[in-house]
A = this chain, B = another copy of it.
Amino acid sequence: MWTKASDPRVFVARRARLAEQLKGPALLVAGQSRPRNFQHNRFPFRAESHFLYLVGRSIEGAALLVSAAGATLFAPPADPEAELWTGAMPTLDDLSRELQLEVRPITDLQGASDIAALPPQDLETALWLSERLDRDLEPGGGVELEGADATLAEAMIALRLCHDAAAIEQLREAALVTGRAHLAGMRATRPGDREAMVRAAMEAQIIAAGCSTAYGSIVTVHGEVLHNERHDGVLGASDLLLADVGAETPEGFAGDVTRVWPVSGRFSATQRAAYEVVLASQRAAIAAVAPGVRYLDVHRAAGLALVEGLIGLGILRGSAPELYARGAAALFFPHGVGHLLGIDVHDLEDLGDRAGYQPGRARPSAPGDRYLRLDRDLSPGMCVTIEPGFYQIPRILSRPSEVGELEAALDRAELARFADVRGIRIEDDVLVTATGSEVLSLAVPKSIDDVEHAMLG
């Protein structure tokens, strides 16, 4: 498959919706590519997400000015010298026609301190923007925004939080390509190979579709390391392999899917039992997703179901609601059940918790909840990930300070039987619909039968 581009009218409409919500002008920058090991060897350019959402194309060094009067793109003019190396660039007139947008040379951009802006991601762009607007803009997220900047942030959140039809179409495509990657990974898994070989088979599907990886791929036999960045491990015949890999379309929309499969092609009895517990937890969480539901309650549904499952396995002893209330889920599942998904894999995270937490809500402090990136009431058009897990993390389970009084409820002998289950996470991309939810990544093999069957492929 080859991913499709949205119609230019999609971006015209997004810019108009933004303009409606602004009181004054706002400038959204594309940013610039980052050097890798020297200035001429650069990482592929990927525009800042707000810009990309409104323009649909990564145009290095460009900036979009939006006001009630309309939108203007300021872009670097085609450079004849560069043409020899990188080919003919579209002229500003070409761009204007293709994007259905007024386009002027970037040198025409007149700054003013009353133009609203959001913090760019790198220092160079922040300095460039600070000069234009004649005021200090810090790079990165987590900055307290005020006045017109805060209004702009809220307007972008209002736009991006509930996806329009074109965004949903992009998310579907990202999920499709992501699914192909997982299928290829399952089929490429061979005992004795390195993790990198499976990663290669997965990322090849993403590259072949004209997409990028939406984030650093996790492909590891040490799933208990939540964001394991290494790929040099050898695939042991009795290992589970965890792959958290997602595609990003050229317009920036992300897929984010995790699957776990047995290197041998067949789950062991203990792997099978633990996998079914995580799957039941994920099903409970997905079943809870619906308009009006608080996302913290989805997180809790996953945790409670996990505790119930672990009692069923004999790893925990006691009453599920009581053990959950005492923090038992966090011993094995210390992260949040998911996050917003859109043009960023953690959508809108450049604005800190402003997007994930609606006014009046803040991050909980309990060990199992404090990494939760989202606690909004869900609305149709939101897209979230649902990704509970079960991990045997030494830093948690071997520390009395972490286990505390839950030690008495823990059957260590039973747990020891599950030594071949170091980490399981099952993650799908879920769209909130008018009546409930739709799993966008439905086609990715997930049940034990489907996974084992796919591996035969």
CB < 8 Å neighbour of A346 from B41, B121, B140, B227: B41
A417 within 8 A of B: no
A83, A121, A194, A208 pick with most chain B CB within 10 angstroms: A208
Q: Are A344 and B38 in contact (CB under 8 A)?
A: yes
CB < 8 Å neighbour of A208 from B35, B197, B349, B396: B197
Which of A96-104, A199-207, A311-319 lines the interface with chain B? Answer: A199-207
Inter-chain CA distance A302–B226, complex, in Å, is 53
For the complex formed, measure the closest distance between the CB of A400 and the CB atoms of chain B, giving whole angstroms. 16
A34 within 8 A of B: yes
Q: Are A43 and B43 in contact (CB under 8 A)?
A: yes
For the complex formed, measure the closest distance between the CB of A417 and the CB atoms of chain B, giving whole angstroms. 24
Inter-chain CA distance A83–B396, complex, in Å, is 11
Instruction: List residues of A (106-134) whose CB comes within 8 Å of B's CBs.
Output: 121-124, 127
CB < 8 Å neighbour of A84 from B80, B209, B345, B395: B395
Instruction: List residues of A (177-219) whose CB comes within 8 Å of B's CBs.
Output: 194, 196-197, 199-201, 203-210, 215-216
Q: Are A34 and B39 in contact (CB under 8 A)?
A: no
Q: Are A37 and B121 in contact (CB under 8 A)?
A: yes
A23 within 8 A of B: no
A308 within 8 A of B: no
A252 within 8 A of B: yes
CB < 8 Å neighbour of A86 from B2, B46, B200, B229: B229
Inter-chain CA distance A203–B48, complex, in Å, is 26
Inter-chain CA distance A414–B49, complex, in Å, is 50
A259 within 8 A of B: no
CB < 8 Å neighbour of A209 from B44, B196, B334, B393: B196
Q: Are B229 and A35 in contact (CB under 8 A)?
A: no
Inter-chain CA distance A232–B205, complex, in Å, is 14
Q: Which residues of B contact A346 (CB under 8 A)?
A: 38, 40-41
Inter-chain CA distance A209–B206, complex, in Å, is 18
Q: Are A199 and B207 in contact (CB under 8 A)?
A: yes
30 cross-chain CB contacts under 8 A: A2-B194, A34-B34, A34-B35, A34-B43, A36-B46, A37-B49, A37-B252, A38-B346, A39-B140, A39-B141, A40-B349, A41-B215, A41-B216, A41-B346, A43-B43, A44-B229, A83-B395, A84-B226, A86-B227, A86-B229, A87-B225, A87-B228, A87-B230, A122-B123, A194-B210, A200-B206, A200-B207, A201-B204, A203-B207, A210-B232
